[in-house]
Amino acid sequence: MLETIYFTRHGHRSDWIVPVLNNCYPTGLFYDPQLSPHGCNQAKELAQYFVNNTIQLDKIYSSPLFRTVQTANYVAEKLDLEILVENGLGEWEIPEPASTSKLREFFPRINTLYTSVSNHPKADETIQDVHDRLNKTMQEIISRCDAEGQIKSILLVGHAASVTAGVRAVLEDRLAVINCGTCSLSKFVKEGGKWKLKLNGDCSFLSGGEENNWAFD
């Protein structure tokens, strides 16, 4: 049975420091930037957190956007795990992302046989829709992990909106204040049949501390 759930947001984005240019990103999509050098360092520190604390994850799920898969890949490399691309963790209000096969050209650890819980969200999603999507996504992911029987600890890599809504879904509280800086870490542990939030956007392991926190309300 699943015992621990970690949520993290992607690292610092390259388009936060460099102007957006059409087709300048690896996937050729102008809305799909990679991590900045600083974001790569954040993702490396995130990966090292799991190593330093001898945490062995069983699965890593990622939104289909390049920056989230890139963040997930740093952890996957450190822990020798595959990456499961999950549309349910996708960004709010963006067009269709690159295909999983396209992403795998850059990240061979992607398991292209994985079946996502949901299709890519519609570009006109409301805040309510995002919460509904993440509620469904988390219920299904937890159910699948429990059905496998050997899965105890997972990491989900998303965006400010999807991470916030995902944490709220597990908390069963859509008004909860969730800290969501880049590469921050939230942690749930199951105790007495209930999910308990033990970390809320922790950034203590990041050399730059909390950065780019964004409230989704």
Q: Count the neighbouring beta carbons within 10 Å of the beta carbon of residue 16.
A: 12
Question: Does the annotation list 209 as a binding residue?
Answer: no
Q: Which of 191, 197, 156, 153 is nearest to 178 (CA)?
A: 197
Q: Count the neighbouring beta carbons within 10 Å of the beta carbon of residue 80.
A: 8
* Cβ neighbourhood burial of 61 (10 Å; 0-12, 13-18, 19+): buried
Question: Does the annotation list 109 as a binding residue?
Answer: no
20 in helix, strand or coil?
Answer: coil
Beta strand 4-9 pairing with 185-191: antiparallel
Question: Does the annotation list 71 as a binding residue?
Answer: no
Can you tell me the distance from the alpha carbon of 3 to that of 21, in angstroms, rounded to the nearest whole number?
A: 43
> Are 141 and 44 within 8 A, CB to CB?
no
Q: Count the neighbouring beta carbons within 10 Å of the beta carbon of residue 150.
A: 7
Q: Count the neighbouring beta carbons within 10 Å of the beta carbon of residue 208.
A: 15
Binding-site positions read 27-28, 67
Binding-site positions for substrate read 27-28, 67
